[in-house]
Amino acid sequence: MSRTTQDWQAADAAHFLHPFTDFDALAKKGSRIIERAENIYLWDSEGHKILDAMSGLWCVNVGYGRQELIDAATAQLKQLPFYNAFFQTATPPAIELAELLSEVTPPQFRHVFFSGSGSEGNDTVVRMVRRYWDVLGQPERKVIISRNNAYHGSTMAGASLGGMSGMHAQGGLPIPDITHIEQPYWYELGRPQGLSRDDFGRLAASWLEKKILEVGPERVAAFIGEPVQGAGGVIIPPATYWPAIQAICDKYGILLVSDEVICGFGRTGRWWGCETMGTRPDLMTFAKGVTSGYIPLGGVMVGERVARVLIEQGGEFNHGYTYSGHPVACAVALANIRLIQRERLVDRVRDDLGPYLAQHFEALKAHPLVGDAETCGLMGAVVLARDKASGTPFASDLEVGMVCRGHCFGNGLIMRAVGDRMIIAPPLVMTRDQIDEMMVLIKRCLDLTW
Ligand code: PLP
C-alpha cells in the first residue's frame, strides 16, 4: 500500500537526519518527497513535475532513467556484486575503468586511486600529497593551501580543505597544516575596486604567492582548487587566474590539485575543468559525474610525477576504503563514460548548449533584479542585486535568494540559492528547447522575486 505525502513526511521527521539541514525546522515544515524521474524531470509525491536544473546534486549528467546504466548495474550485481581491491586482488570492471579513465584524462594521468565519494577522494589527496613529500625526504612540506568559500567535501579533511566558515565553526576545523587564501570572486572583490576581470584574476592569483612566502615555500606541499567553485555559488574565475596559479605552483615546485568533482566529465565543455582553465594538475579528484550519480563512486587521478614516486620508492601506502573500486559502481561508470563518448556530450556542451545558455544568460542581465549573470559550459549563476547600477547587494537578512528559490520550487524548477547567487548545473543531455523552457521558468521566478 503506498503512503501519502503526510505519511512520508511524518516518518522522515521521526527518523531521518538530513545532510546540511536544520533538523527541527525541517521536521516542522516537512520534506518534499521526490518519487521518480525521467530525462531532466522529477516528480514529487503530489504529482508535480519539476525541471531539475541542478542535475540532482551536480551529478546526473546523462539524465535520469538511462537503461544502459541500469543494465550495467544489474548484470554486474548478478556476476559479482562485491569484491575488494585489497590483498592483491582486483575485479575486471575496476581494471577496465582505470584503463578508460587514463584514456579520457589529460596525458599526465595514467593511474587512479578509487574512493566511494568526493570527500573520501580529497581525504586521499591529503594523505597522498603528504606521503609524496615524505618519500622524497621533505616531510616538512605538509601545508596545503586552499581558498575561502571552496567546497571539497564534508569529512574532516574535506571540510578543512574547503573554505566554508560555517563548516569550520563546527568541529574545530580546519585540521592542522591547511590554510586558505581569498577566492577569485570578481563581482564581490574586484568590481567594487574598479578592476577589470583580467587584472583581478592576476591579483587573486598573486595571493597564492603571498601565502607561500608567508608560510615558507619549503613547508608548502600543494595548492587545491575547483576550476569553477560550484557549491560556493558557481564562482567563475577570470581567464587570467588559473594560468597565473599554474605558474606560481611551477615556480615553487608545489603540487597542483584540481578538484573536478563537479567540473569533470564535460560540465565546463571539456572533459575536465582544468582543460577549460588551462592548467596541468598533478592530482585530480573526481566523483559525481563519473557515474552520473546512479551509484556512489569517487577517486583521485594520480599524475606521473606523484605516481612514479609512490610506485617506485613509496612501499606500502597505508590507505584505502572497503569500496575502493567497487565492481558495481565501476561497471556503472564504464557504461556512463561510454554513453558520454557515444553521444558526444562534451562536444555538445562546448559547441552548442554552452554557447546557447551563455546567450540566454547575457539577455538576463537586462532584468532589474540581476546584477550579473555568467556561465561556463552548462553551469551558470545569476547575481541578485538590490541596485544594479552600483551593484549593491541585498542585506543578507533579507535572504532574497531563498525567496527566489521558493518561487522556483512553486513553479516546477529546481535552482539553488547560494546567498545572493542563483545557480544552475542542468543535465548535459538537455535540448535547446529544454533550455528555452528552463529560461522561461527562471525569468518567471526572477519576476516573482522582484
Ligand atoms: N569536491 C567538490 C568540488 C564538491 O562539489 C563536492 C560535493 O559537492 C565534494 C568534493 C564532495 O563530494 P561528496 O559529496 O561525494 O563527498
Cα–Cα distance, 408 to 388 (Å, whole number): 22
CB-CB contact of 368 with 388 (8 Å): yes
CB neighbourhood size of 433 (10 A): 8
Cα–Cα distance, 218 to 220 (Å, whole number): 6
Secondary structure of 333-365 in the HEC alphabet? Answer: HHHHHHHHHHCCHHHHHHHHHHHHHHHHHHHHC
How far is ligand 1, taken at its centre, from the CA of residue 153, in Å? 5
**DSSP letters for 191-242:** GGGT--HHHHHHHHHHHHHHHHHHH-GGGEEEEEE-SSBSTTT-B---TTHH
Instruction: Provide the pLDDT for residue 387.
Output: 84
Establish whether residue 259 lines the binding site of ligand 1, counting it when its CB lies within 6 angstroms of any ligand atom. Answer: yes
Q: Which three cell numbers stand for residue 52?
A: 531539475
Span 380-423, pLDDT tens digits: 999 999 888 887 777 665 688 889 999 999 999 999 999 999 99
Establish whether residue 54 lines the binding site of ligand 1, counting it when its CB lies within 6 angstroms of any ligand atom. Answer: no
Q: Which three cell numbers stand for residue 88?
A: 592483491
**DSSP letters for 423-437:** EE---TT--HHHHHH
Span 276-329, pLDDT tens digits: 999 999 999 999 999 999 999 999 999 999 999 999 999 999 999 999 999 999
Cα–Cα distance, 248 to 258 (Å, whole number): 15
Q: What's the length of the chain? A: 450
229: amino acid identity, one letter = Q
Q: Which three cell numbers stand for residue 323?
A: 569500496
List per-block mean pLDDT (blocks of 10 residues) for the chain, which spans 450 residues: 92 97 96 98 97 98 98 98 96 98 98 98 98 98 98 98 97 96 96 96 98 98 98 98 98 98 98 98 98 98 98 97 98 98 98 98 96 97 88 73 91 95 97 98 95
Instruction: Provide the pLDDT for residue 79.
Output: 98
Instruction: Provide the pLDDT for residue 397.
Output: 59
Instruction: Provide the pLDDT for residue 35.
Output: 97
How far is ligand 1, taken at its centre, from the CA of residue 448, in Å? 32
350: amino acid identity, one letter = R
How far is ligand 1, taken at its centre, from the CA of residue 173, in Å? 17
Using most ligand atoms within 8 A of CB, pick from 126, 149, 151, 290 the residue to mutate for ligand 1. 151
The C-alpha angle with vertex 422 and arms to 416 and 424, in degrees rounded to 5, equals 60
List, edge to edge, every strand of the sheet that includes 370-376: 370-376, 379-384, 421-424, 416-418
- Domains by residue range for the chain, with CATH: 32-62+344-449 (3.90.1150.10), 68-342 (3.40.640.10)
Establish whether residue 123 lines the binding site of ligand 1, counting it when its CB lies within 6 angstroms of any ligand atom. Answer: no
Residue among 282, 235, 291, 293 at smallest CA distance from 259: 282
How far is ligand 1, taken at its centre, from the CA of residue 265, in Å? 14
CA 181 to chain centre: 19
Establish whether residue 262 lines the binding site of ligand 1, counting it when its CB lies within 6 angstroms of any ligand atom. Answer: yes
